[in-house]
Structure 1
Amino acid sequence: MNETEGTLAISAHPSPGGPVVLRLAGELDHHTGARLGRAVEDLLRSPGAGDVGIVADLSRLHYCDSTGITTIITAHDRARATGSSFCVAAPSPAIGQLFRMTGLDQILTFHPSVEDAVEALSSG
């Protein structure tokens, strides 16, 4: 899967024997949030992918509004409902601050790097 429309690029990268890394680049907002939701749903429906978890790589995410926050919470909740894991990795300082201000850091598991997140989901 590789999707680029508007200002958000989404690509999925399976880790050997571990979670799928969902890389987001650009802006996650009211124009692009639904595409992230579809990408997560597609991963959770694909054979075996939902069983190993999803790491949302935010290292290239430059903007996130309230719709983006809601989309990330929904992705987390949907993954949990299907017995999968969902975590966030490598948010920029600005995105990390936004998530702390909104309390999202109390709901989601955050990792400083994609590698840390992959390791955590692979071992746990």
Structure 2
Amino acid sequence: MTVALQSHPAGPRLVVVGGDLDHHTTPRLRAALDELSFGPGPGLVIDLSALKFCDSTGIAALVAAHQRAEGSGMALVLAGLDPDIAHIFYIMGLDRLFSFSDTVEEAVTSLSS
């Protein structure tokens, strides 16, 4: 699994996650998110376009990131979720919790509007 922290030219923080997000790799995502300052501002996009698999520990880490962002007044958008993984998120009702965008650029636009 890969995790990279980046800044988008339009302002939001960007976390790019690729590979498998499971109980072995989720600590890397948590560590990357712990490096970020959460608070009001341009928001956070988590780019999942290279994510191939996500188990319950990965989902729990994303939910924790959402709760942390929400608690600090920061908007968070998940971008590029594979349709099969997105289906699981919808079945679990996470579409009521998360904002989804097809691409990072759409996510950035949604944060600025």
Task: Establish whether TM, by shorter chain, passes 0.5.
Answer: yes
2:49 and 2:40 mapped to 1: Cα distance?
22
In the alignment, structure 1 residue 89 sits paired with structure 2 residue 82: no
- Give unpaired runs (5+ residues) of structure 2: none
**Retained in 2: the 8 A contact 1:43–1:50?**
no
Structure 2 residue identity aligned to 1:96: A
In the alignment, structure 1 residue 62 sits paired with structure 2 residue 55: no
Q: Deviations over 1:67-99 (max 9, x none)?
A: 011110000101111221111011011111111
The TM-score normalised by the length of structure 2 is: 0.91
In the alignment, structure 1 residue 39 sits paired with structure 2 residue 32: yes
In the alignment, structure 1 residue 24 sits paired with structure 2 residue 17: yes
Q: Where in structure 2 are the equivalents of 1:112-123 lying within 5 Å?
A: 112-123=102-113
C-alpha RMSD of matched pairs (Å) = 1.6
1:18 and 1:91 mapped to 2: Cα distance?
21
Q: Which runs of 4+ in 1 moved over 3 A?
A: none
How far has the Cα of 1:50 moved from its partner? 6.4
Aligned residues: 113
Aligned to 1:4: none
Q: Percent identity?
A: 40
The TM-score normalised by the length of structure 1 is: 0.83
